[in-house]
Amino acid sequence: MSVKTVLVPLIGSDEACDQTALRSALTLARRLGAHVDALHVRLDPRSAAAFVGEGMTSAMIESVIDMAEKDGQKRQQTARTLFDETCRELSIKTSTPAQDEEEDVTAAFVEREGNREEVLLNFGRMFDLIVVCKKASEDNSGNDMVINAALLETGRPVLVVDSPLQDSFGKNAAVIWNGSVESSRAITHSLPILKAAEKVTLICAMDDLDDELHPEEAIRYLKRHGIEASSCEIRGSSGRTTADLLMSQAGQCGADILVMGAYTRSRLRRLFFGAVTGEVLEKCELPVLMAH
């Protein structure tokens, strides 16, 4: 599998978060020879009227819609300026979405109107990878919804970053393996990154391992793709969560990127055993490539 198309949502109200995601997407594109679409979704100003309370006059409703339209224009301008400046700084050639460029590494600014999550879950299905920023300001509380829409609704792998990727990222990769469908997909989607890594380690949570798929099967699969990997096992909790143990082991391995399946348990099991995915998203400082 190759990565030739990368999608990065730009919100326009959180410049630090947008910059982290955009720089990471463009850095990854240069590594893999890919095209990046920077997607900005403008909310329909008329939808703001749905949140207006009863008893509001038509003039007041029009005022709310006008304010929403001005806010949308400001966010669009902020996102567009960031895109243009970052591409210029990184010497990335820009194009329009309709252009068919011969160059491998290009980027385009794409605008849509509607609900951010709904647009993403449809538009995002035709990309090899989606890059999103984990950190967000209080004004960007909807960022978790964007991440979950990308993970659960697009069927695409998602790279979640906490800070901009460096050109040297991906030398030491840790892969969380439990034999689930999701962890298998994560490995397949991450092959271009794993092939470029100098070290790959499978971290196996033995208490949660599928009985039919042992680590040796994953190591054999990777070897057939030209990737030499080692494995280590973690057992028991000692009062710590599974996510904490996995992240600690990744740190001991010196990993600079984490690969894992997302939401590998049913909702009922997550209620009883906790959600590893949610804790990793909240606490892990490494870039995390996830697939559901």
Q: What is the pTM of this model?
A: 0.88
What's the CA gap between 171 and 21, in Å, rounded? 20
Residue in this structure with the two tokens 């906790």, named with its chain if needed: 274
Same domain, 17 and 123: yes
Average pLDDT value for residue range 10-36: 93
Pick from 176, 183, 170, 163: nearest CA to 242: 176
Same domain, 13 and 155: yes
Per DSSP, helices labelled H in 124-241 are: 143-153, 181-189, 191-196, 215-224
Confidence of residue 225 (pLDDT cuts 50, 70, 90): very high
Element (H, E) at 81: helix 58-89
Same domain, 9 and 150: yes
- From residue 99, alpha-carbon distances to 34, 81, 103, 108, 274 in Å are 15, 21, 11, 9, 46
Domain for residue 166, yes or no?
A: no
3-class secondary structure, 225: coil
Same domain, 178 and 130: no
Same domain, 258 and 113: no
CB proximity list for 141: less than 8 A, separation 6 or greater? none
Element (H, E) at 291: strand 288-291
**Residue that finishes a domain, picked among 114, 136, 161:** 161
**Residue that finishes a domain, picked among 116, 137, 161:** 161
Same domain, 243 and 135: no
**pLDDT of 104-152, one tens digit each?**
789 999 999 888 888 998 999 999 999 999 876 555 556 788 888 898 8
Tokens linked to 268: 């009922």
Same domain, 124 and 236: no
Handedness of CA 217, 220, 221, 227 (dihedral sign): positive
Same domain, 149 and 9: yes
Same domain, 69 and 190: no
Helix, strand, coil share (%) of the chain residues, nearest 5: 45, 20, 35
pLDDT > 70? residue 19? yes
- Indicate which CATH number applies to the domain containing 134: 3.40.50.620
Q: How many residues does the chain have?
A: 292
Domain for residue 141, yes or no?
A: yes
Domain count, the chain: 2
CA–chain centroid gap for 155, Å, is 12
Same domain, 132 and 15: yes
**pLDDT of 61-101, one tens digit each?**
677 677 778 888 999 999 999 999 999 999 999 987 656 55
Same domain, 151 and 29: yes
φ, ψ at 229 (rounded to 5°): -130, 150
- Contacts of 164-169 with CB under 8 Å at 24 or more apart are 164/19, 164/20, 164/23, 164/24, 164/27, 165/23, 165/24, 165/27, 165/28, 165/287, 166/27, 167/27, 167/30, 167/31, 169/27, 169/256, 169/257, 169/287
**pLDDT of 28-37, one tens digit each?**
999 999 999 9
Domain for residue 252, yes or no?
A: yes
For the chain, what percent of residues have pLDDT higher than 90?
Answer: 53
Q: Rounded mean pLDDT of the chain? A: 85
- What residues form DSSP beta bridges with 95? 108
Same domain, 63 and 91: yes
Domain containing residue 131: 5-161
Domain for residue 277, yes or no?
A: yes
Domain for residue 9, yes or no?
A: yes
Domain for residue 167, yes or no?
A: no
**Residue that finishes a domain, picked among 130, 161, 192:** 161
